Amino acid sequence: MAATATGARAWQNWARTERVTPVRVERPASGDEVVAAIARAGADGLTVKPIGSGHSFTGIAVAPGVQLDLTDLAGLTRVDASTGLVTLAAGTRLHDASALLHEHGLAFENLGDIDVQSISGAVSTGTHGTGRAFGGLATQLRAVTLATADGRLLPISATENAELWPAARLGLGALGVLVDLTVQTVPTFVLAADEHPEPLDAVLDDWPNRSAQADHVEFYWFPHTRLALTRNNTRLPADAPRTPPGRVQRWLDDELLGNGLYEVLCRIGSIAPGTVLGINRLASRVAFTRQVADYSHRIFATERKVRFRELEYSVPLDAVGPVLRELDRVIEANGWRVTFPVEVRATAPDDVWLSTAFGRPSSYIAVHRYIRDDHTPYLAAAEQILRAHDGRPHWGKLHSRTADDLRPVYPHFDDFVAVRDRLDPDRVFTNPYLDRVLGA
Ligand SMILES: Cc1cc2nc3c(=O)[nH]c(=O)nc-3n(C[C@H](O)[C@H](O)[C@H](O)COP(=O)(O)OP(=O)(O)OC[C@H]3O[C@@H](n4cnc5c(N)ncnc54)[C@H](O)[C@@H]3O)c2cc1C
């Protein structure tokens, strides 16, 4: 019998864009307990939805019926250091996974900007980092175990129940509850990070080449400035010299400049928009000139304490220049004062049906607004531009797309829906967001 938390418990996501009080919360600690929780939900006529760390900006994790809290379903359950294949329980947080892998001389091949998410939540929404030769987290999966609506624990991989594999690797939480995930990891490596400002136009004009000039390239553009803050991370062997930021530098970077002082500046910008220009110029200059090297998981991910709202789309590589120039024009024409930077990344193409990088090398353009600012007009304008460039929205970040207008941008959209119809004909795992993006 699963440990059932008492009745309703109010939940809200990190970005404070979604809140719900589920009918009940359950904390299963094993695959069998997940199956039992699904059966109980079915018997009570309730939907069921697992949550990760609530870091999706969209309502994808909203669980009005039974919410599954997977805190007790965590840890490394199998490690093969010779092949790098490891199995993680579904609720494992990425930072815990990285620490556990490190003890075995292993690491994730690539990660996004933060690592507080659960492995399942990150994979299920298409979470990605940057790197022209590297895919998102779902591409690192080799197998999963899925608890299904009809009470099975189904192994799925390229060789077992293989027809489900391209859907189950990135399932939006719509197909069932992941119980464990087998990941192809790589030997521990060091990342050397080189961060410095460059003229924006030079970076935009050359982005398709420039994005491949180091292993992991990205840049930030603070609106109202002409600077791109570039970050180029190069992969080195595990025994390469490490020069992590010292305690004082780390405090300056992460606590003062990255979070504490930045929060104060964003608040000032929100109350007095006239100051934003100066704030962005200051942020561009002080926040970004450094060279450090450390184990990969300590370089890929940083802490984000200043809350914001975000929309991110993938577009073809050569769309970055036109999109950012158009966005610049729209921001200035509307007189918006935007403190948060626009972030640009790139990944390899993949063959995961609902991956934003399906079938094409992709750039990612993310626009953010500070939580106290009204994000709606800016994000809507950015979305309009990104849509016109054949964009696909990140499943975990704000967007307004529906099943009807997502179908044409995903060649296997209907194949995914067919898998959903087969695995969840009664829509036990649905919620309003999934009804919108996949159809009811
Ligand atoms: C500050 C911040 C920084 C971010 N940086 C990045 C970034 O660099 N790159 C990027 O791509 N994204 C980024 N994101 C988005 C984030 O990675 C995704 O939204 C991710 O899904 C969050 O993971 P989570 O554990 O919080 O999942 P949740 O938001 O809690 O859940 C997401 C989905 O996963 C499903 N799910 C959870 N567990 C299971 C399970 N066991 N079985 C089946 N489905 C499950 C949920 O039901 C839901 O549908 C960022 C978000 C924030 C707030």
Residues paired with 48 in a beta bridge: 66
pLDDT at 275: 74
CA of 52 to the centre of ligand 1 (A): 7
Antiparallel, parallel or unpaired: β 362-370 and 290-295: unpaired
Residue linked to tokens 């859907």? 167
Helix H or strand E segment including 409: none
The response to whether residue 395 sits with its C-beta less than 6 Å from ligand 1 reads: no
Q: Report pLDDT for 2.
A: 45
pLDDT in tens, the chain (440 residues): 444 555 678 999 999 999 999 999 999 999 999 999 999 999 999 999 999 999 999 999 999 999 999 999 999 999 999 999 999 999 999 999 999 999 999 999 999 999 999 999 999 999 999 999 999 999 999 999 999 999 999 999 999 999 999 999 999 999 999 999 999 999 999 999 999 999 999 999 999 999 999 999 999 999 999 999 999 999 999 999 999 877 666 666 666 556 666 677 767 777 777 776 776 666 666 656 789 999 999 999 988 888 999 999 999 999 999 999 999 999 999 999 998 899 999 999 999 999 999 999 999 999 999 999 999 999 999 999 999 999 999 999 999 999 999 999 999 999 999 999 999 999 999 999 999 999 99
In angstroms, what is the C-alpha Rg of the chain?
Answer: 21
Q: Is ligand 1 within 6 A of the CB of residue 27?
A: no
Short-list 355, 358, 354, 258, CA closest to 308? 258
> Going by C-beta distance under 8 Å and a sequence separation of 6 or more, which residues neighbour residue 376?
none
Cα of 49 vs centre of ligand 1, distance in Å, is: 13
- Ligand 1 atom closest to the Cα of residue 15 is 53
Separation between Cα atoms, residue 275 and residue 279, nearest integer Å: 6
Name residue 291's beta-bridge partners: 194
Contact call for residues 395 and 60 (beta carbons, < 8 A): yes
Residue 129 has a pLDDT of: 98
> Could you tell me if the CB of 192 is within 6 A of ligand 1?
no
Q: Using a 6 Å cutoff on CB, does residue 60 contact ligand 1?
A: yes
Q: Ligand 1: distance of its center to the CA of 125 in Å? A: 6
Write out the two tokens for 330.
Answer: 């729209």
Q: Are 219 and 363 in contact (CB under 8 A)?
A: no
* Burial (CB count within 10 angstroms: exposed 0-12, middle 13-18, buried 19+), residue 306: buried
| Cα angle 139-355-113, degrees, rounded to a multiple of 5 | 70
Alpha-carbon distance of 214 to 132, in angstroms, equals 9
Supply φ then ψ for residue 77, to 5 degrees. -100, -15
The pLDDT value given to residue 274: 75
Strands 308-316 and 227-237: unpaired
Given ligand 1 and candidates 13, 38, 127, which is best to mutate, with the most ligand atoms within 8 Å of its CB? 127
C-alpha 119 – ligand 1 centre gap (Å): 8
